[in-house]
Chain A
Amino acid sequence: MAAWQTFAYIAASILFITGLKMLGRAETAKRGNRISAVGMLIAVVATLAAGGLDYTWIVLGLIIGGAIGALAARRVQMTGMPEMVALLNGSGGLASMLVGWAEYVRVPDVVPFSAVAIMLTVLIGGIAASGSVVAFAKLSERIDGKPFLFRGQKVLNASLLGLALLAAAFVVADATVAGGVGGVTLAFGLVLLLALALGVLAVIPIGGADMPIVVSLLNSYSGVAAAAAGFVIDNNVLVVAGSLVGASGLILTTIMCRAMNRSLANVLFGGFGATITAGGSASQGVVKPLSPDDAYFILEAANSVVFVPGYGMAVAQAQHVVKELADQLVKNGADVRHAIHPVAGRMPGHMNVLLAEANVPYEQLVEPGDVNPAMETVDVAIVIGANDVVNPAAKEDPSSPLWGMPIIEVDRARTCFVLKRSMNPGFAGVDNALFFKDNTRMIFGDAKATITSMVGAFKES
């Protein structure tokens, strides 16, 4: 590698590090993203300019990929962002897997260390790729979002992983003898297939409410796969950038797990929500329904209102009318806030993105810890399509699977409106005692239509 190329890669690495750091702070995030994009451009140009390459196919790939990427980024709706991120992540994992594969084909006899790197790249990249596709299918509801469980699932997964590692070890052991003939090729193909199968099997048992954790974990995997590819082609910039992404994905995963008071192992192997039987006393009680018109009279008199959005707001595309209602309430003299639980929605920060799209000012967005202490002073808490993140069972019922999860304690507000389609339990399949509390009023129907009619009532007055 020429010296100038090394310098270019170092420059790219520095830009990635700086960009990622800036991406973590609100004031600098936009600049950070651009700085990291410049780093990427430098890395790509330095690679292309090194010479000795046949550009025909490279350019073709760049044009096709660039067009698809640009078009998808422009077209995607903000409500479709979780599945978009999953797909982008999948394409990154796929690319790393293919780089490992190509290197295996290209280099006739590799040293064992490189062979190990190739196998890890294929394995992790493959898992990230197929896992992301399943996550995409679940998020876009092309397949059922409920956990898919069967007897012996864990044993099967563990055996397949063991088999994959065994086959990979076989390839590594033989790599020094001969590259790509007979049994070794077969073993390599087996690793490839098993990696893809494992990605699918790892994601299907995970329920919709746990998706934020899975999405950030898969993000981490694709970073690690890129780093492993860096070992394969002996390139520092891949190792640095890949590790950074791996680490940042891991941090996000930890934040998400903490927000649910669960361990990562519990999320990955728990099959949350599928085994729960509706036996609790929570399902007994009387639900008190309320019409949007009556709700208006309560809202009209309220001085402090807290919105609690959840996945249902995304489904109903209600973020814009929520903003309208919030504006009406502010005009009416009320103090309005939007309390956002870290795991509300289907990816980390899902609700923030939707409300930002609707131009909700950042100052109105608060975290559970900001509203919970003074919840008694809140006149109306409006829960829009959120369920598990407001379920009081998390602090009242030790037998609940939600026990110990930090929630937004809307049950302590003076009045709590719950906007809901019907009485079906949430994604986790857990009954919600909140619906039966004395201060809770259920407003059934499509959230968007309900809020629209409330806004109408305000405008008429």
Chain B
Amino acid sequence: MNPLLLFVFVLAIFLGLELITKVPSQLHTPLMSGSNAISGITIVGAIIAAGEGGMIATILGTVAVTAATINVIGGYLVTERMLGMFKTGKDA
């Protein structure tokens, strides 16, 4: 375990808080589903568990890969679909 990760963690939280200010309400849902897809990054840990572990870890990892993939694919596609609907008066 690397203590530097704590440092990264704190910095990333601050970065996140700075990054998303004054989001127009039109984008609240896409922002939520889009960031939700990013939280599917846990797929990296799931892949390692499913491919490296013993039997139990493989079972848990496989379910985790499935769930994380649903999160990632579903999240990005649903966000793409919603953003595709937002149009301005000109091209509506």
- Chain A residues packing against B (C-beta within 8 Å): 16-17, 19-21, 23-26, 29-30, 32-34, 36-37, 39-40, 43-44, 47-48, 52-55, 57-58, 60-62, 64-66, 68-70, 72-74, 76, 78, 81, 84-85, 88-89, 91-92, 94-96, 98-99, 101-103, 105-106, 111, 113-114, 117, 215-216, 219, 222-223, 225-227, 229-252, 255, 340, 342, 347-350, 352-353, 356-357, 359-365, 367
A54 CA / B46 CA spacing, docked (Å): 13
- Tally A-B pairs: CB < 8 A: 394
Check if A105 sits within 8 Å of B42, measured CB to CB.
no
A102 to B56, CA, bound (A): 7
Whether the pair B74, A20 counts as a contact (CB closer than 8 A) is no
Decide: A95 and B62 in contact? CB cutoff 8 A: no
B51 touches A53 (CB 8 A): yes
Q: Is the interface of B mostly helix, strand, loop or mixed?
A: helix
A68 to B22 alpha-carbon distance, docked (Å): 34
Interface residue SS majority, chain A: helix
Distance between Cα atoms of A34 and B73 in the complex (Å): 12
A102, A244, A353, A364: the one within 8 Å of B49 (CB): A102
Shortest distance in angstroms between B85's beta carbon and chain A's nearest beta carbon? 4
Q: How large is the interface on B (under 10, 10 to 19, 20 to 34, 35 or more residues)?
A: 35 or more
**In contact, A365 and B52 (Cβ under 8 angstroms):** no
Could you tell me if B40 and A26 are in contact, using CB atoms closer than 8 angstroms? no
* Chain B residues packing against A (C-beta within 8 Å): 1-3, 5, 8-9, 12-17, 19-54, 56-58, 60-89, 92
Q: Enumerate 12 A-B pairs (CB-CB under 8 Å) in ascending A order.
A: A58-B47, A81-B82, A91-B71, A91-B74, A98-B60, A98-B63, A106-B49, A230-B5, A245-B38, A247-B15, A352-B29, A364-B89
In the bound complex, residues from chain B placing their C-beta under 8 Å from that of A219 are 32, 35-36, 39
A89, A103, A356: residue with the most chain B Cβ atoms closer than 10 Å: A356
Query: Are A348 and B28 within 8 A (Cβ)?
Result: yes
With known contacts A243-B9, A248-B19, A72–B39 Cβ distance under 8 A? no
